[in-house]
Structure 1
Amino acid sequence: MSPSLLLPKQFFFVLLIAILAVSFSFSRTSIAQESTTANTESTNFFPSATRFGEPDDELGIIPVYQLNQIIGYIFETDNLTHFPGFSGETVNLEVALDTEGVIRGINIINHHEPIFLYGLGEEPLQNFVRQYLNRRIDQRLLVGSTSMGKDHNTQYVDGITKATVSVMVIHDTILGAAMRVARKKLSGFEAQAEATIKLGFLPMSFDNLVSKQFVQSWKPDNESEYRKLEEELESLRENDAENLFDIQWALINSEQVGTNLLGTGEYERLLNELAPGETAILMLSNGAISFIEPDFASGASPNRLSIYQNGYSVDIRDINFHSFHPETFSEKFPPYRDVMIFRIKANSGFDLSAPFEIRLTLFTSSNPIQTTSLSLGQVVSISADLLDIAAIENMRPTPLWKRLWQQRTPEIIFLGIYLVTLACMFSFQRQLAPRFGRHLSIVRFISLLFTVTFIGFYAQGQLSVVNIYTLLLSLWQGFDIQVFLLDPIIFLLWGFVFISLFLWGRGVFCGWLCPFGALQELVALVAKQLNIRQWIISEKQHRALQCVKYPILVCLVAMAFIDLSMAETLAEIEPFKTAITMNFIRYWPFVVYSLLLLALGMFVYKFYCRYLCPLGAGLAILGRFRLFSWLKRRDECGSPCQLCYKQCEIKAISKIGQVDYNECVQCLECLVIIDDKNRCVTDRYKSKGNRRKQQAIPVKISE
């Protein structure tokens, strides 16, 4: 006889209280430590300071004095920038900037980035922002791993795995706020006059573009220095080209240049790739030494090529223009080995009308432990015939969400195909069910693997009750769609789930799109293969436990409006972050909790989903407003036939044969059974009933 689960309520409440107590304790300790550290560090920004001035009325910038001399400024980034993070809230930092444009201190005042609060912890975040200390903001600064042999004029800060969105937001926040203060308060940082690009197009050949200086050749300015280095440069040859350098460049987003070189269609595609105010530089190379290093990764900032203007580095990045499209030009000209288009952001301070330097930094190794850098530059100017000199205001960089969508195009395509497939399958489920038959288990298994591996572990597409916080608070405080666009995978999933709730109920997400739910189901399959005996929960206990997740949801949402940090702490009742986001690499109490829930799933089918999940509760509430009840039922379902009731592992079918769509995960097993004449016995009951009726009819015997 199967053992009975006698104390489910007691076990559940002990488990819940334990995890909430642990997470509450860790959160409060972390916050207390952070606050103490911040208060201590803020006094060390300027050790020689004798007094602080009054904050700037407009931006809250505080001047710092040594006697009567200003030695720097302290400011909060929220007063100067607005870059919403993954949580929908900005990361507010206190930054100290000296009069030379060097960052002297950073304190984290406030943030709600879940990956740090309840995942990686605060230490990686603190370590990340410390990398900006003593950095000059007028030098080139990139997020990426440092290594020997990179341009010594470029500064690098290490990123954080699994925190790409948060890291990019913090990077833009620090530099954006610091540069705004520098341009307002410091000499030498003033924004230069900008120029607009002339509109208009006249057909021109490639030779004509060259003769008009619309396409220019690059070569080092200092010819004598170049000749001295020529022998050493010969050792850096990367191919057997005739010329050491054969590099051309052009302002490709000029209509005159871009249309003549790329053609109308490709030029329009280029403009669609660029945000307002951005500049695109075309680089062509056919020489023995290219403008990019041999191991250059598409879409990145080159280590070899850099642009300087007014002594400051201008950040450039490959836009990967030919990643999915072949290189096409409207005019035939000698083929080039390297053809790339680089983006200069609108907020870089780059002035089209001013001269700038194109610099190549090459590296030679005289021995295994010593690397020598060689910098070769040329000061160039964009042809005045392409420009209208005018001040440009309100030029904005490419929105962060747009950059993230561009970076994740492959994941978006794969997820889109899967979502379209699901939509078609559920729209025609009654027609497909008879065809599925015994093959449904194979379809389901493939779907579970895809959901866990691709949507969960790879694309990090695990929805959470924290997303509900963000939505409700956004609606309460002022809706901003860009907050939700920061993660394209989460955005697409939520969009699909929201629509599917009103068509099919919550089961589409819980049964086919939730990575942790799929992981539980795979664990249950393992348990079945191992013949692990399932615990029996009485009908009364089952119905009582199903209701537990609803008060959990209410408490969490209410707390989000009272104390968001506490609500995010309490959201640790979800094991999603530990199991899916962090791949079980986390502080041991969280790992034990997640593994315990999975272990319970081996004895009670999808234990967490059925009884504890606040996200499932929220979706079930909205799912009550579904427009259709798709799962086919018959009059004989429940009385006398009990087959679907016994086969439903989630226990969403009652003894009377009705489907509880608030609990159903839309596995479609009951739909397959009801259309399988070998399994569904309602026709047999119907035939038996007809025979009984016929036998009950009195037979009249003729005399």
Structure 2
Amino acid sequence: MVRLVLLLLIALAPQARAGVMTREALQGHFPAPLSVGEKDAQLPVWPIFRQELTSTVLAGYVFESIDFAPIPGFSGTPINLLVALDTKGQFLDVKVLSHHEPVFLDGLGPAPLFAFAGQYAGLSLRQNIKIGSNSNRGSQAGSANVYIDGVSKATASVRILNQSLLASALRVARAKLGFAAGADPDRVARVRQDTFRPMDWQALVAAGLVQRVRITRGTVEQAFAGSGVEEGVDAGRAQDSFSELYLAYLNDPAVGRNLLSEGGWQHLLGRIEEGDHALLVIATGAYSFVDDRFVRGAVPDRLTLQQGELPLELRDLDLDDPLKLPPALQGADSKVLRVIGPAGLDPARRLDFALRVTRQKGMLFGERVSRSFAVPYQLPADQVIVPESTDKGWQAIWRSRAWELAVLAAALALLAMVLARPRWIVATPARLARFRTAYLVFTLGFIGWWAQGQLSIVNLTATIQALVAGRSLDFLLYDPISVALWAFTAVTLLVWGRGTFCGWLCPFGALQELVAQAAQRLGLRRIRLHRSTDARLKRLKYVVLVLILALAFSSPVWTDRAVEVEPFKTVITLNFVRAWPFVAWAVGLLLLNAFVYKGFCRYLCPLGAGLNLLGRVRLLRWIPRRAECGTPCQTCRHRCDYQAIRPGGAIVYEECFQCLDCVAIHDSPQRCAPLIAQGRQRVIPLAPAA
């Protein structure tokens, strides 16, 4: 029966959505002098035309991101964007057509999401677009790196939007705008960082790390033969040097650290963004790659670079750090040129530099004649790492949150050690209370409010919706803290059951317990429900779980509403800054908890119900018991605030929150009734005096 119900739900579930826009609807977004053409026959894109006097010119293309990069959002449903690109890869417009991001539905509202998407207008695919702040930020079209503002409390959602936008736009640009020859910036080879060893100039040349290309006068004159601008050269001077270029890839530590001082090397690293390429060019001879009019920080007009068929922009980094060059090159023209990461340069492939030589013919109406001379450079194969994976997008997020993950890993390791060997912690009630309170404060403050690591039933519904629609689960990786917590929770479910997460690592659960402690200090009397009433109410959370999972298979809209039974988004993600009904619900649950201990966790939480079911496969019955537990001793049962101990003394592990209180009682000669009785029996009464 259950299998038939699941099959029916899957059959009714929505499939992966496609674009919804029509030409008529798009025309409303692009009024005159723009017009929208017919939809492309091969790709779901529409051309945009601009009327200029009597002619109509192609202005760009418009498309929906869901047709090219349906990356699931935090809810498991893709964000759909309307994207317009001009013919040079610049964003004309970016608008959000639809989304199911929980934090932007009834939390922050959609306005911050719309404003975030609006920042892309005027930026270019050839720029390195980063989310965050930087003292050198700019938004000029010619700037290599631009920084856009993120949205607090919605880090994962805006990064998924960013990835959806760039992935879809690059696919269109490669197909329609001549970007086809470029490599995906996240799939190019990376320069090894472990190859440094001290080398002088000659050793660098011998190792192929610095490469020399010599262009003779004879070669140049032969190229201009028949052009009318030949200068002629004696046979004896044909082998003289016209231009001699030295090329090196400074990102390689074996090159950069040997040609620059340590301070210069660090300065270089500080001037380029991750993924950028710094290339050193040195020229000697009669003809240089820059002329006397060259402006620092500009693009050299005599030197070009392409890789395959892709042209790449070279721009002077304007570095003044001295280079360790041989005496013969001390006065030569030298520049450090940058290629930005999004351009798609692959350091494992040959770099095809070209030196352009231009001569003028005629005086009154002069004609310029140019020839280009190949200057190839190939970084040795042992200096690069070819990527083995095509995964992209989330790796940078993990790197940027490395310190948070390190703190979390240390905290989880500490918790695992305490739970595996609790004897020292439970030695005294005060020690256990101090440790538990301190850890709950850490869970609430760091895991919850700081790192936004609140696990939620939304994680499960999003996974279900993505699987049913045949989409990838990569979107989960955009929230590394949650991934780490889920991994730890999965392991501890097998070992101890649901109590590790629910009792120690749930931020809202931690807040409830801290509120309950405060209520007791204020003298509020806690209500303990009758055992049968408590048992019936605990079944309610399974009903809530089943309803939410059923909706996840059939209705994303109603799923978004149903998951609001969890107050996590209101309390942890948004810090109560939300519409009053959601705040009232969250505050009401906290007030209930002051009288009915952890009422939400025990009776309503759908995530707790899911973990309860999964935790039934645990390997250990880790709470020690004695024959006297339950018969006759009832101390632990009466002290258990979760009511997870049966009258017979058996532990209901599915409802246990692993607070260690019963473990502390069990090991205490002062609190455990059987141990107290044993102690009394050991006391031998003295015989009365004669």
TM-score (norm 1): 0.67
Q: 2:503 aligns with which of 507, 511, 524?
A: 511
Residues 137, 533 of structure 1: alpha-carbon distance in 2 compared, 3 angstrom cutoff: same
Contact 1:119–1:582 (CA under 8 A) maintained in structure 2: yes
SS at the partner of 1:662? helix
Amino acid at match of 1:206: D
Between stretches 38-47 and 536-545, larger displacement belongs to: 38-47
Contact 1:620–1:662 (CA under 8 A) maintained in structure 2: yes
Q: Indicate yes or no: 2:52 matched with 1:56.
A: no
Match of 2:30 in 1: 45
Amino acid at match of 1:129: A
Q: 2:402 aligns with which of 386, 396, 409?
A: 409
| 1:369-384 matches, cutoff 5 A | 384=377
Q: Which runs of 5+ in 1 are unaligned?
A: 1-34, 217-247, 264-281, 318-328, 330-339, 358-379, 692-703
Q: 2:202 aligns with which of 204, 208, 211?
A: 208
Contact 2:426–2:432 (CA under 8 A) maintained in structure 1: no
Match of 1:648 in 2: 640
Residues 39, 412 of structure 1: alpha-carbon distance in 2 compared, 3 angstrom cutoff: farther
Q: 1:73 aligns with which of 54, 61, 68?
A: 61
Q: How many angstroms apart in 2 are the aligned matches of 1:522 and 1:539? A: 24
Amino acid at match of 1:166: S
Contact 1:474–1:480 (CA under 8 A) maintained in structure 2: yes
Q: How many angstroms apart in 1 are the aligned matches of 2:594 and 2:451? A: 26
Tell me the CA shift for residue 402 of structure 1: 1.5
Contact 1:315–1:348 (CA under 8 A) maintained in structure 2: no
Residues 645, 534 of structure 1: alpha-carbon distance in 2 compared, 3 angstrom cutoff: same
Deviations 1:307-340 (A, max 9, x none): 99779768999xxxxxxxxxxx9xxxxxxxxxx9
Residues 103, 433 of structure 1: alpha-carbon distance in 2 compared, 3 angstrom cutoff: closer
Amino acid at match of 1:520: Q
Tell me the CA shift for residue 209 of structure 1: 5.9
Contact 2:516–2:593 (CA under 8 A) maintained in structure 1: yes
Residues 596, 301 of structure 1: alpha-carbon distance in 2 compared, 3 angstrom cutoff: farther
| 1:512-531 matches, cutoff 5 A | 512-531=504-523
| 1:9-24 matches, cutoff 5 A | none
Q: How many angstroms apart in 2 are the aligned matches of 1:307 and 1:85? A: 40
Match of 1:420 in 2: 413
Match of 1:90 in 2: 78
Amino acid at match of 1:76: E
Q: How many angstroms apart in 1 are the aligned matches of 2:482 and 2:337? A: 30
Q: Indicate yes or no: 2:533 matched with 1:541.
A: yes
What is the root-mean-square deviation of aligned Cα atoms in Å?
Answer: 4.7
Contact 1:85–1:166 (CA under 8 A) maintained in structure 2: yes
Contact 1:83–1:169 (CA under 8 A) maintained in structure 2: yes
Match of 2:555 in 1: 563
Match of 2:108 in 1: 120
Amino acid at match of 1:413: A
Tell me the CA shift for residue 544 of structure 1: 2.0
Contact 2:670–2:676 (CA under 8 A) maintained in structure 1: no
Q: Indicate yes or no: 2:434 matched with 1:456.
A: no
Q: 1:129 aligns with which of 94, 117, 132?
A: 117
Amino acid at match of 1:53: E
Q: What percentage of aligned pairs have identical amino acids?
A: 35
Q: 2:671 aligns with which of 672, 679, 683?
A: 679
Contact 1:139–1:313 (CA under 8 A) maintained in structure 2: no
| 1:242-391 matches, cutoff 5 A | 250-252=248-250, 258-259=253-254, 345=341, 348=344, 353-355=351-353, 384=377, 386=379
Q: How many angstroms apart in 1 are the aligned matches of 2:24 and 2:666? A: 67
Match of 1:365 in 2: none
Q: How many angstroms apart in 2 are the aligned matches of 1:184 and 1:405? A: 31
Amino acid at match of 2:420: S
Residues 78, 316 of structure 1: alpha-carbon distance in 2 compared, 3 angstrom cutoff: farther
Deviations 1:602-639 (A, max 9, x none): 11111211111111011111112222211122222223
Contact 1:291–1:305 (CA under 8 A) maintained in structure 2: no
Amino acid at match of 1:560: A
Amino acid at match of 1:173: S
Residues 552, 315 of structure 1: alpha-carbon distance in 2 compared, 3 angstrom cutoff: farther
Tell me the CA shift for residue 396 of structure 1: 8.2
Q: How many angstroms apart in 2 are the aligned matches of 1:316 and 1:173? A: 32
Residues 690, 84 of structure 1: alpha-carbon distance in 2 compared, 3 angstrom cutoff: same
Q: Indicate yes or no: 2:149 matched with 1:158.
A: yes
Contact 1:137–1:179 (CA under 8 A) maintained in structure 2: yes
Q: Indicate yes or no: 2:91 matched with 1:110.
A: no
Q: Indicate yes or no: 2:172 matched with 1:181.
A: yes
Residues 42, 203 of structure 1: alpha-carbon distance in 2 compared, 3 angstrom cutoff: same
Contact 1:204–1:260 (CA under 8 A) maintained in structure 2: no
Between stretches 464-473 and 48-57, larger displacement belongs to: 48-57
Tell me the CA shift for residue 426 of structure 1: 2.3
Q: How many angstroms apart in 1 are the aligned matches of 2:92 and 2:559? A: 34
Tell me the CA shift for residue 415 of structure 1: 1.2
Amino acid at match of 2:418: M
Deviations 1:235-293 (A, max 9, x none): xxxxxxxxxxxxx995256xxx6457779xxxxxxxxxxxxxxxxxx986868x96688
Q: How many angstroms apart in 1 are the aligned matches of 2:481 and 2:637? A: 36
Contact 1:87–1:470 (CA under 8 A) maintained in structure 2: yes
SS at the partner of 1:468? helix
Match of 1:168 in 2: 159
Match of 2:608 in 1: 616
Deviations 1:43-78 (A, max 9, x none): 122433556313333x31223456975443221223
Q: How many angstroms apart in 1 are the aligned matches of 2:273 and 2:428? A: 44
Amino acid at match of 1:681: A
Tell me the CA shift for residue 146 of structure 1: 7.9
Tell me the CA shift for residue 676 of structure 1: 0.8
TM-score (norm 2): 0.68
Please tell me whether Structure 1 or Structure 2 has the larger radius of gyration of its CA atoms: 2
Tell me the CA shift for residue 433 of structure 1: 6.3
Match of 1:243 in 2: none
Residues 483, 495 of structure 1: alpha-carbon distance in 2 compared, 3 angstrom cutoff: same
Match of 1:241 in 2: none
Residues 462, 383 of structure 1: alpha-carbon distance in 2 compared, 3 angstrom cutoff: same
Match of 1:9 in 2: none
Q: How many angstroms apart in 2 are the aligned matches of 1:198 and 1:671? A: 54
SS at the partner of 1:602? helix
Contact 1:138–1:313 (CA under 8 A) maintained in structure 2: no
Aligned residues: 551
Deviations 1:447-468 (A, max 9, x none): 1111111111111111000111
SS at the partner of 1:601? helix
Contact 1:347–1:397 (CA under 8 A) maintained in structure 2: no
Amino acid at match of 1:527: A
Contact 1:203–1:260 (CA under 8 A) maintained in structure 2: no
Q: 2:574 aligns with which of 567, 582, 586?
A: 582
Deviations 1:436-481 (A, max 9, x none): 5541111111111111111111111110001111333455455845
Residues 260, 292 of structure 1: alpha-carbon distance in 2 compared, 3 angstrom cutoff: closer
Contact 1:113–1:166 (CA under 8 A) maintained in structure 2: yes
Contact 2:453–2:482 (CA under 8 A) maintained in structure 1: yes
SS at the partner of 2:597? coil
Amino acid at match of 2:86: D
Q: Which runs of 5+ in 2 are unaligned?
A: 1-19, 212-245, 278-295, 306-310, 318-323, 325-335, 356-372, 684-690
Q: Indicate yes or no: 2:590 matched with 1:598.
A: yes
Deviations 1:8-47 (A, max 9, x none): xxxxxxxxxxxxxxxxxxxxxxxxxxx99x9977612243
Match of 1:400 in 2: 393
Contact 1:316–1:343 (CA under 8 A) maintained in structure 2: no
